[in-house]
Chains A and B, each alone.
Chain A
Amino acid sequence: MITDSQPVLRLDGVTRIHGEGAGEVHALRGIGFVARPGELVAVMGPSGSGKSTLLALAGGLDTPTSGTVTVEGVELGSLNAKERARLRRTSIGYVFQDFNLIPALTAAENVALPVELDGVRTATARKAARAALAEVGLEDLADRFPDEMSGGQQQRVAIARAVVGNRRLILADEPTGALDSHTGEEVLRLLRARCDAGAAGVLVTHEARHAAWADRVVFLRDGVVIDESGADAADDLLSGKHVG
């Protein structure tokens, strides 16, 4: 396991306000958050508490109203759109609730997307994509289009896309939301394995059952962290279901 010293993701005093004036919504209010290599952090909280907002900020898809977001030592606020895009395709992997595969591209092409966008030759990118697909057990479906796959298969492709090219920060927003429990477990196992291999993972979820896969759980309500439990606390909470 890699040392804990340098966090992969760090949020300091992050506030995000949507809208203006009367319609102002404080999605996050002065949040601090850290995810270290090898660590899977679960984010829980009621609907509207700011979980997705947190993830969007961590992925550089959104910018905070105040505060800083740092990924692998680089402060996102100091980057322009181009550099942020580059960071997303080299360092950050995103998994969405509704899969978000591109229907016009095959499974392999979807997985190869970040690599190919980074300017790697198509053939090389395909090779990397096939390796990532093999990791999620889908090498046989490489040339299928998303329409021709089941939901679980699609989400596994999405995870392969999030990890391809050895990225160190995986952000997953309710990746199991649209899956049955068995397939959901399968997806979480893949995430866990990726973190054990050295990546930092952030998993947004509703279900306490899924939080058991995490090393740490962060609870959000109305845009603030109301509770944070270490790995041990989570173990206590759900005794008997320990996973290394």
Chain B
Amino acid sequence: MSRWWAGWRAALRIAARDTRRARARSALVLALLMLPVVAVSTAAVMWATYDVASDEALERRVGAGEAMIRVDPGVTRVIQRFDPDDGHGQETGRLTDPTWPEMAAALDGGPGDRPVTALRDGWISVGTSLGSTGARAIEADFDSPLIEGLFRVTEGRFAATPDEVTVNKALAERGPTLGETLTVTTVDPVTDTESVRHLEIVGIVESTRLRSARLALSRPGGFGAFDGYQHGWLVGGDPVTWDDVLRLNQVGAAVVSRSVLSNPPGLEDLPEEFAYLDDYVDDTVLIILALIATMVLIEVVLLAGPAFAVGARRQARTLALMSATGGATPAQARRVVLASAVVLGVTAGLLGTLLGIGVAWLAVPAVAQLSWEYPGPFEVPWPVLGVVAGFGLISALLAALVPAWIASRQDPVLVLAGRRGQSRPSIVMPLIGVLVFGVGVALAVAGTRQYRGEFLIAVSAIVCVLGMVMLVPLVVSGVGRLVRFGPLPLRFAGRDAARHRTRTAPAVAAVAATVAGVVALGIAMTSDAAENRETYQPRLAHGWGQVHHPGDREAVTATIRQVAPEAEFIEVSTAGAYLEFHVVGEEYPREWWSNVLDGGVIVADSVPEAVPGFPAEHRAEADRALTAGGVVVLDLTPAASGRVAVVANDWDHETGEMLDPQEYGEHPLILVAGDGEAKGPVIISTRLAQDWGLDTSSHLLVDGLSRSQAVDAEEMLAVLDAGLYVERGYREDRSILIAKLLLGLLGGVLMLGGTITATALALADARPDLATMSAVGAPPRTRRRIATSYAVVVSLTGALLGVVVGFVPGWAISVPLTHFGDSGPFFEVPWLMIGAVVLGLPVLTAAVIAATARTRLPMVARLD
């Protein structure tokens, strides 16, 4: 035991000295290892700090009380998680307001002697200088000691009477402030009458929990009758147990209980609806986290690998001397290399977590400015950070593994003879690589045929990358042979890369893994977009617009004409009834759904211009059918005619009960095949609608708005509370474009990082060669040309490999992503993006290196 330790102690001492001596290389490795550690530990601290829904900061939610009991309007029964804000479900049907005795009966079996104070919570409309705005309003007795901790007075005092009010900063910024009068408009939900009250603002009071929401506080009765308000009771006394909570749930209350949240019962006590969901969510999140962690680990190991390879080779001479003179064993050689990984890994882990804590500490207040919620007390999740720091060590050890193994197999004679090359590549490794890659492909294929195969596909991506990593050395030596006829700098770079495979291969693999990820995600996103485009259902014919909530139509048309005098308006009616269409001779009713005019059945005597995808040649025929009392449907099936029986299935809108189906008889049917993918609505004539007694509503449609006119009109209509939708066909979601850009950026950064690392290390290694070239008369620019060639070799080889590997998971993931029912799957390759990655990024990388590489060649031809 002691001897085992002694061996390591010597190795660690050598490693520590070496780490200090090779400062630049150590800094590089440290940065690579630390980056993910810093990022993850920052995120962990932020998350822990913001995660105030647990047992922390309970006074912000239950004040000085034991529990907050809340009943939403009309709710008769609730199921909830331990914390209802993490999820709860409701049944409605309550007609009367909930009362405290009702709650007390559920909680204590009668009117106990618990201290309690009531709160009412709802929405009001308050006057501002510009007009009016909404605000959250709470009525409470602010003298109650139970309330302590819910609110914080920053100026003035709490409201003491129902004629006084306090506002928070967010509301004061929009409307009247301290010392002024707040005009409150409320709607009585029962009588539907509006009432206006004027309250004096006596203080600025913040919620301790919500930061940016506008808030007004007054005494009970201060806001008059609320619209849709929530009743709440803050109770003190004995702890409220989970059983108490479950009983309160039965009378429609959701409960935040101090004792339940501080000491949650076992998961088996959750209502089963949540228990099932909990499992699912946890598994998914864990699997995703594990996959991401693995990917990051692979990337970091590959990026840090070259530096360890160079370090190991620099130590090779020392090790060879040790073994030649002192009989050092291969194990000792291995240990020295691994020890430097331990030194760097431990340093990166500790430094990285400390840095992460520091970054989080600085970031919490900044993020709080943007968040709607106040953060909890600063909290450092030490166990999580321990794992994260361990990640640094593990990645360092993994990165040093191959160099350590090679160091232990070093032939001291060759090393001492100053031969700097490496032996021929083994053939076993690539064979295993091909095998592993094959397994990855098989997994991907299996993933496409399985329910929730996404996980399998993600795993396959990792397996493919691992297989590729094992193939890279072979590819790199292939490149070394390929450059034989290239110009001198390229020839040198390619051969040198091949000769120093332990240094080159991880860098190439890092680039390849990055590109594979970018390509896979790019294919996934493009295919997804293709699906959206192909299955896009227009709501109107191209260029037509629909005014939502037109209200005063005269005013709306006048407003639009102000910006677009040429605009044409039509009104089209739809029937809201739920109709079932049985084509005569078919067993099941047809499902004709459409996006047009909110999916209603169109009532018109001729096909409105605004219906999308209606072929012009069928218009006359369809119009004739409508006048003859027929039913016209735009469908994907070829044009056909027949008869259709129509049945109304409707329910009583008061009681929610289904009414007896009502039969409307058989009518002639014309099916028209739409242009493109357009699925059209059902159109019936006005006479049929009248005969059947359908309620219709009329939609205001407008044609002839340019894009800029539409934008202006939309802004002006907002004043009238009206909205405008103009059909412009499928347009790619801006967020997809942004995601693609971010993806490209991240890929570019990683690719640049990998290439620059490898190039810098290669140049440092090639110092004697550069000195020789200088001595035989190489012009100063030779160094830059070699650096650029090196960058091209690494990034281009990596990019090409990555594209091939990325296609596998990319294709696979597009299947579950774009396959629903009988639509899809869609597969589209983002050629432009791939082109940019394969050609653009290497060129960019080479350009960056060419611009930054020193041109000065080392002059003195001495070997270090």
Contacts and interface: CB of A to CB of B under 8 A. Distances in A.
A90 B772 contact: no
Given A59-B775, A61-B859, A94-B775, A102 B780 contact: no
Given A109-B491, A147-B419, A147-B421, A61 B780 contact: no
Contacts of A109: 491
A82 B421 contact: no
B863 A98 contact: yes
Interface string B489-531: 0011001100100000000000000000000000000000000
B769 A85 contact: no
Nearest to B780: A81
A100 B772 contact: yes
A185 to B, nearest CB: 23
A168 interface: no
B277 interface: no
For this complex, into which size category does the number of interface residues on chain A fall?
Answer: 20 to 34
Contact of B779 (A86, A102, A145, A147): A86
B860 A85 contact: no
A105 B484 CA distance: 10
A100 B772 CA distance: 6
A100 B419 CA distance: 12
Nearest to A112: B488
A127 to B, nearest CB: 15
A196 interface: no
A114 B777 CA distance: 6
Interface string A58-71: 01011000000000
B856 to A, nearest CB: 8
B183 interface: no
B250 interface: no
Contacts of A225: none
B242 to A, nearest CB: 73
B777 A88 contact: yes
Most B CB atoms within 10 A — which of A61, A81, A85, A117? A85
B769 A102 contact: yes
B780 to A, nearest CB: 5
Contacts of B420: 103
B421 A89 contact: no
Nearest to B775: A94
B773 interface: yes
B782 to A, nearest CB: 7
A213 interface: no
B774 interface: yes
B776 A117 contact: yes
Contacts of A87: 777
A16 interface: no
B421 A102 contact: no
B861 interface: yes
Interface in B396-443: 418-421
B779 A117 contact: yes
Contacts of A100: 768, 771-772, 775, 861
B861 A116 contact: no
Contacts of A89: 776-778
Contacts of B496: 104
A56 interface: yes
A69 B771 CA distance: 21
A104 B492 contact: yes
Contacts of B491: 104-105, 109
Nearest to B768: A100
Contacts, number: 86
Nearest to A56: B860
Nearest to A145: B421
A182 B773 CA distance: 29
Interface string B39-80: 000000000000000000000000000000000000000000
A14 interface: no
Contacts of B771: 100
A15 B772 CA distance: 25
Interface in B776-818: 776-780, 782
Contacts of B860: 56, 61-62
Nearest to B418: A98
Contacts of B856: 81
Contact of B773 (A98, A117, A122): A117
Most A CB atoms within 10 A — which of B499, B775, B776, B779? B776
Nearest to A96: B861
A85 B495 contact: no
Nearest to B777: A89
A161 interface: yes
Contacts of B861: 61, 94, 96, 100
Contacts of A145: 421
Nearest to B480: A104
Interface in A98-131: 98, 100-105, 109, 113-114, 116-118, 122
Given A103-B499, A105-B491, A113-B488, A85 B859 contact: no
A82 B778 CA distance: 9
Contacts of B487: 122
A92 interface: yes
Given A103-B421, A104-B769, A147-B419, A118 B776 contact: no
Contacts of B863: 98
Contact of B495 (A88, A105, A118): A105
A88 B780 contact: no
Given A61-B861, A104-B496, A116 B775 contact: no
A170 B774 CA distance: 16
A98 B777 CA distance: 18
24 contacts: A61-B774, A61-B775, A61-B860, A62-B859, A62-B860, A81-B780, A85-B779, A85-B780, A94-B776, A94-B861, A96-B775, A96-B861, A98-B863, A100-B771, A100-B775, A101-B772, A102-B773, A104-B492, A104-B499, A104-B769, A105-B492, A117-B782, A122-B485, A122-B488
Given A98-B418, A102-B773, 5 more contacts: A56-B860, A88-B776, A94-B776, A104-B496, A113-B776
